[in-house]
Structure 1
Amino acid sequence: MDAVMSAADDAGAASGREDPPPAVVLVSAGASHSVALLAGNMLCSWGRGEDGQLGHGDAEDRLVPTVLSGFDAAAPGITSVICGADHTTAYSEDEQQVYSWGWGDFGRLGHGNSSDVFTPQPVKALQGIKIKQIACGDSHCLAVTMAGEVQSWGRNQNGQLGLGTTEDSLLPQKIQAFEGVCVKMIAAGAEHTAAVTEDGDLYGWGWGRYGNLGLGDRNDRLVPEKVSSVEGEKMVLIACGWRHTITVSSSGSLYTYGWSKYGQLGHGDFEDHLVPHKLEALKDSSISQISGGWRHTMALTSDGKLYGWGWNKFGQVGVGDTDDHCFPVQVKFPEDQKVAQVACGWRHTLAFTEKKNVFSWGRGTSGQLGHGEIVDRNKPVMIDALSPDGPGCKKLEPSTAVPFAAKVWVSPSERYAIVPDEKVPNSGEGTARGNGADANVPENDVKRMRVHS
Structure 2
Amino acid sequence: MWCWGAGTDGQLALANPQDQHLPQPLPSLPPISQLACGGAHVIALTKPPNKPPQILTWGRGATGQLGHAHLLNSPSPTPLPLHSSAITISRVAAGWNHSAFLSHSGAVFTCGDGSFGQLGHGDFQSHSRPLQISSFGDKFAAHIACGMRHSLVLFRGGMRNSALACFSLSELGCCSVYGFGSGKRGQLGVSKDKVRGLFNVPQLTLGLDGLDATAVFANGDHSAVLTVDGHLYTWGRGFNGASDANLPRLLPSRLKFTQVALGWNHALLLTDEGEVYMLGGDRHGMLTDPQKPTLEQSSSIQSSPCQASSSNASESELERVPGLIGRKVVNIAAGAEHSALVTENGEVMTWGWGEHGQLGLGNTEDQRNPQVVEFGNKVDKYHNHYRVFCGSGFTFAVK
TM-score band, normalised by the shorter chain? Answer: 0.7 to 0.9
Letter in 2 for 1:295: E
CA contact (8 A) 1:298 1:344 kept: yes
Letter in 1 for 2:121: H
Of the three residues 98, 103, 106, the one matched with 1:87 is: 98
Quote the residue 1:223 is aligned against: 247
Letter in 2 for 1:33: H
CA contact (8 A) 1:153 1:170 kept: yes
Residues 1:102 and 2:112 aligned together: yes
Please state how far the C-alpha of 1:31 moved relative to its aligned partner. Answer: 0.5
Question: Helix, strand or coil: the match of 1:125?
Answer: helix
Letter in 1 for 2:393: R
| Structure with more strand by fraction | 2
Residues 1:264 and 2:280 aligned together: no
Q: What are the Cα deviations for residues 417-443 of structure 1, in whole angstroms up to 9, with x where unaligned?
A: xxxxxxxxxxxxxxxxxxxxxxxxxxx
CA contact (8 A) 1:163 1:175 kept: yes
Letter in 2 for 1:80: R
Please state how far the C-alpha of 1:303 moved relative to its aligned partner. Answer: 3.5
CA contact (8 A) 2:206 2:248 kept: no
Structure 2's unaligned 5+ residue stretches are 1-26, 157-172, 295-314
Please state how far the C-alpha of 1:285 moved relative to its aligned partner. Answer: 2.2
Letter in 1 for 2:209: E
Structure 1's unaligned 5+ residue stretches are 1-18, 212-216, 354-453
Counterparts of 1:348 and 1:89 in 2: how far apart (Å)? 20
CA contact (8 A) 2:261 2:267 kept: yes
Residues 1:131 and 2:161 aligned together: no
Residues 1:159 and 2:190 aligned together: no
CA contact (8 A) 1:253 1:283 kept: no
Counterparts of 1:123 and 1:116 in 2: how far apart (Å)? 14
Counterparts of 2:146 and 2:332 in 1: how far apart (Å)? 15
Counterparts of 1:34 and 1:270 in 2: how far apart (Å)? 35
Counterparts of 1:319 and 1:268 in 2: how far apart (Å)? 23
Please state how far the C-alpha of 1:115 moved relative to its aligned partner. Answer: 0.7
Letter in 1 for 2:154: V
Residues 1:24 and 2:32 aligned together: yes
Q: Which has the larger radius of gyration?
A: 1
Question: Helix, strand or coil: the match of 1:298?
Answer: strand
CA contact (8 A) 2:332 2:341 kept: yes
Q: What value does the CA root-mean-square deviation take over the aligned residues?
A: 2.3
Residues 1:168 and 2:168 aligned together: no
Counterparts of 1:312 and 1:21 in 2: how far apart (Å)? 27
Letter in 2 for 1:77: T
Change in 2 beyond 3 A, CA 1:126/1:290: farther
Please state how far the C-alpha of 1:84 moved relative to its aligned partner. Answer: 0.5
Counterparts of 1:243 and 1:51 in 2: how far apart (Å)? 25
Change in 2 beyond 3 A, CA 1:49/1:233: same
Quote the residue 2:256 is aligned against: 234
Letter in 1 for 2:232: L
Question: Helix, strand or coil: the match of 2:207?
Answer: helix
Counterparts of 1:314 and 1:124 in 2: how far apart (Å)? 39
Please state how far the C-alpha of 1:117 moved relative to its aligned partner. Answer: 0.4
Quote the residue 2:222 is aligned against: 192
Please state how far the C-alpha of 1:25 moved relative to its aligned partner. Answer: 1.5
Please state how far the C-alpha of 1:250 moved relative to its aligned partner. Answer: 1.7
Of the three residues 35, 58, 62, the one matched with 2:70 is: 58
Quote the residue 1:327 is aligned against: 369
Change in 2 beyond 3 A, CA 1:255/1:116: same
Quote the residue 1:341 is aligned against: 387
Please state how far the C-alpha of 1:304 moved relative to its aligned partner. Answer: 2.7
Quote the residue 1:425 is aligned against: none
Question: Helix, strand or coil: the match of 2:57?
Answer: strand
Question: Helix, strand or coil: the match of 1:281?
Answer: coil
Q: What are the Cα deviations for residues 398-427 of structure 1, in whole angstroms up to 9, with x where unaligned?
A: xxxxxxxxxxxxxxxxxxxxxxxxxxxxxx
Change in 2 beyond 3 A, CA 1:23/1:176: same
Quote the residue 1:428 is aligned against: none
Counterparts of 1:173 and 1:284 in 2: how far apart (Å)? 44
- Report the more deviating stretch, 295-304 or 41-50: 295-304
Change in 2 beyond 3 A, CA 1:136/1:61: same
Residues 1:183 and 2:213 aligned together: yes
Q: What are the Cα deviations for residues 169-205 of structure 1, in whole angstroms up to 9, with x where unaligned?
A: 2122232301011122222121122222222222221
Quote the residue 2:266 is aligned against: 244
Please state how far the C-alpha of 1:261 moved relative to its aligned partner. Answer: 1.4
Change in 2 beyond 3 A, CA 1:20/1:243: closer
**TM-score, normalisation: structure 1:** 0.67
Quote the residue 1:293 is aligned against: 335
Taking the TM superposition and a 5 Å limit, the aligned residue runs for 1:305-384 are 305-335=347-377, 336-337=380-381, 338-353=384-399
Q: What are the Cα deviations for residues 204-228 of structure 1, in whole angstroms up to 9, with x where unaligned?
A: 21111x42xxxxx611110011122
Please state how far the C-alpha of 1:253 moved relative to its aligned partner. Answer: 1.1
CA contact (8 A) 2:106 2:142 kept: no
Please state how far the C-alpha of 1:162 moved relative to its aligned partner. Answer: 1.1
Letter in 2 for 1:168: L
Quote the residue 1:415 is aligned against: none
Residues 1:204 and 2:234 aligned together: yes
Counterparts of 1:288 and 1:306 in 2: how far apart (Å)? 10
Please state how far the C-alpha of 1:300 moved relative to its aligned partner. Answer: 1.9
Please state how far the C-alpha of 1:270 moved relative to its aligned partner. Answer: 11
**TM-score, normalisation: structure 2:** 0.76
